[in-house]
Amino acid sequence: MKVINLREILNQEPAINLFHLALKKERLSQAYLLTGPEGVGKETTAWALLFHLFCEKNFENPCGNCKACKKLLKDSHPDLLKVYPEKKEITIEQIRNIQNFLKYRPLEGKYRIVLIKPAEKMNLQAANALLKSLEEPPSYIIFLLITENFTQLLPTIISRSQIVRFRTLPSEVIKNFLIKKFSYEEVIAETLAKISQGSLGRAIEIMEKGLIEELHTFVKAGFSSSYILKFKVAERFSNLEPRSWDLFFYLLSLWIWKSYLKKRYGLSYPSAFPQENFQKDPFLALKIIFEAKSALEHYANPEIVFYWLLTKIFNLEA
């Protein structure tokens, strides 16, 4: 989700004020390290900053309509280089592409921007190569490094960057945003806000991917005696993308744990969750989920993994 104005960023006033002041005084650092939990606005803020830096009409309030803004919206601005992991890491070849990018002055704007996410995915060779670029970058270059855990970066990279911290969002802020921006029903917005752990990005992703509905489907199949239904559901889950698997495992673990707390202490579920109680040993169930995740990470057949997960969890001893 691209936001074109820093003022639209939710509940991250210290970070936004820092950027506003830098823009106003034209004293931008050459490297910013945006750090904080997943889905709290780091990349959204980075994109908003790009609009402020590139807009041809108004750097204080980007227009969204000029040639530069339209190119950013289409992800095609020639003075922006985005670097994401190839497979599981950012390689030295990608950093060499950055070094090539640095050689040339801006084609259309005042700056050339390098956005790296997640910065902690650089392997050691890549990190050392980037360090050389950070030591004496051209005056027109700004690095935006996005990370969930900056302590995983080389200390020398951290020392050459201005750290911008982001915090988790209150559940009420997330709930109200989902209702206002996406017209979600209150019960859905409230559930997403509660389970998102302060991450608006996670809440939106869970909803857009329909993962609460997928959780209902999985639970229904788990309680069913029909092996045909279990096979069909396992096949369905095998076709999801790996990111959806991760979020689903999180939701399944949460449902199992909430069932345990409801049974033991009478605590309530998030209202849009399956209302069936998981009656088996929650600790064994969570261990099985971990084993399923590990199997998928080691390229096991997804359909077999999900069928095994369905039959194993729901047939544990109570």
How far CA 211 is from CA of 171, 198, 221, 242, 288, in Å, comes to 19, 18, 15, 13, 20
What pLDDT, in 10s, does the model give residues 21-35?
A: 999 998 999 999 999
Question: Which pLDDT value is given to residue 303?
Answer: 97
Question: Which pLDDT value is given to residue 62?
Answer: 95
Cis peptide leading into residue 37 (ω within 30°): no
Asked whether residue 257 carries a pLDDT value surpassing 80, the answer given is yes
Question: Which pLDDT value is given to residue 316?
Answer: 84
Question: Which pLDDT value is given to residue 26?
Answer: 87
Question: Which pLDDT value is given to residue 264?
Answer: 82
- Residue 44 and residue 9 in contact, taking contact as beta carbons nearer than 8 Å: yes
- pTM for this model (two decimals): 0.86
pLDDT-derived band at 77 (thresholds 50, 70, 90) equals very high
Q: How many CB atoms lie within 10 A of CB 38?
A: 16
Question: Which pLDDT value is given to residue 36?
Answer: 95
Question: Which pLDDT value is given to residue 88?
Answer: 87
Question: Which pLDDT value is given to residue 288?
Answer: 97
151-186 per-residue burial string, b: 16 or more CB within 10 A, e: under 16: eebeeebbebbeebebebbebeebbebbbeeeebee
- Residue 23 and residue 52 in contact, taking contact as beta carbons nearer than 8 Å: yes
CA 282 – CA 304 distance, rounded (Å): 22
Residue-range domain boundaries for the chain: 6-165, 169-208, 210-313
- Residue 94 and residue 126 in contact, taking contact as beta carbons nearer than 8 Å: yes
Complete DSSP assignment for 194-239: HHTTT-HHHHHHHHHTTHHHHHHHHHHHHH---HHHHHHHHHHHHT
Asked whether residue 1 carries a pLDDT value surpassing 70, the answer given is no
Domain 6-165: give its CATH code. 3.40.50.300
